Amino acid sequence: MFRDISVRAVYMGALAAFVGYAASFAIVLAGLTAVGASQAEAATGLFFATLGMGVCSIWLPGLTRTPAAVAWSTPGAAFLAASAALPGGFAEAVGAMICCAALILITGVIPALGRIVAAIPKPVANALLAGVILKLCFAPALGLGAVPLLVLPVILAWLIGLTWNRLAAMPLAVVAFLIVMFVGVDLPEASPATSQALLPDFAFVTPVFSLQSLISIAVPLYLVTMAGQNIPGFAVLELNGYAIDRQSALRKTGLASLLIAPFGAVPVNMSAITAAMMAGEDAGADPKGRYWAAIVSGTVFIAFAFAAAIVTRLASVAPAELITAVAGLALIPALVSAISAAFSDPKQSEAPAMTFLITASGMTLFGVSGAFWGVVAGAVIWFAKRAWAQ
């Protein structure tokens, strides 16, 4: 095993972990905060989500000898960020995350459930993803209008990174965010105990389960995780010539998600963007040794988990507009990709349009969120038009 390791694999694994974390930690924090998490609860959720994807990114590649990297559900966190707080607060949201994790695990056990998810028309699934992240993608523009001196440097750094290398955009934006925080924001003085703490003050909640949270949060969270992360993640590996047992991978990530969900952590799933970095030639000339890039990324993620307390404290003193602006910038490529895929078939534009509009509207019907109704409406229109055409 250790004979397969290479310098290129170590470098690419560390880079992928940094890019993945920098591009999405703000989205995870925004999602947990939106559904009612306190600072301590958000730090706890961030810690266990980072730890979960770190452990899985070591476990899966080590077993399969493939660069089967694992990430947290970025579109799922974005969905939570666009969701309204449930009547039961964060405890009810935790109950929904547990249900979502159970659905992922069940999908790994019962292949028929995976086939049902795969049967959702891809344009409708992409329209769901686009509608979920649209609201957060408005944040950079709204933040620029509210606190221009703070947000403008972040946007400029993101633009510089984008013109240089797409993967550098968010890391440079995060660097600019840190500079803006230390220069433009009055940071409170940390006590010695606080500054030396590597672990957050863990805050645990007793989960609350309800039918409303199951339909409004758990099911849409499951759908965007499957459609936005797992399915593309499997496709990336297969396109690079790696055979992957999808059911086994879903069982493992579902089990990990189920173990961390009671602590307020978003689900973990197959990585797509960072997996592409680690499955290509940049991670090593020998494809059989590239799994070490994923293992290294998992090790780095575990190290990042111990920064959860610091990251959350820093985010808590930052203006909300600045944090959401960073999160929104990270989601712009995903929005462009999802919209392009949603409207790729001009003969079937109404179904994804209805899914996108209902999901993005933020409406609720009978206490159930628009994300659920968007998929229902889109699927009905899609299959009705197809049946009529036949």
Q: Any idea where the domains of the chain sit in the sequence? A: 2-332
Determine the residue type at 36. G
User: Contact, 338 vs 126, CB < 8 A?
Assistant: yes
Residue 52: pLDDT band (50, 70, 90) is: very high
Residue found under tokens 């999802």? 338
pLDDT value of position 186:
67
pLDDT value of position 193:
47
pLDDT value of position 12:
85
CA–CA–CA angle 263, 29, 21 (5° rounding) = 95
Mean pLDDT in residue range 256-274: 92
CA-nearest of 101, 31, 366, 83 to 211 is: 366
User: Contact, 127 vs 349, CB < 8 A?
Assistant: no
Mean pLDDT in residue range 364-368: 76
pLDDT above 90 for 250: yes
pLDDT value of position 159:
93
Residue 390: pLDDT band (50, 70, 90) is: low
pLDDT above 60 for 334: yes
Of the candidate ranges 49-63, 82-96, 165-179, 345-359, the one whose mean pLDDT is the lowest: 165-179
pLDDT above 50 for 71: yes
pLDDT value of position 208:
95
User: Contact, 274 vs 71, CB < 8 A?
Assistant: yes
How many other CB atoms are found less than 10 A from the CB of residue 272?
21
Q: Is 122 exposed, middle or buried (0-12, 13-18, 19+ CB in 10 A)?
A: middle
pLDDT value of position 2:
64
Q: Per-residue b/e over 164-199, b at no fewer than 16 CB within 10 Å?
A: eeebbbbbbbbebbeebbeeeeeeeeeeeeeeeeee
Q: pTM for this one? A: 0.83
Of the chain, the percentage scoring pLDDT greater than 70 comes to: 96
Q: Is 364 left (phi over 0), alpha (psi -120 to 50) or beta?
A: beta
For 105-127, the pLDDT digits (tens) are: 999 999 888 788 778 888 888 88
Determine the residue type at 115. R
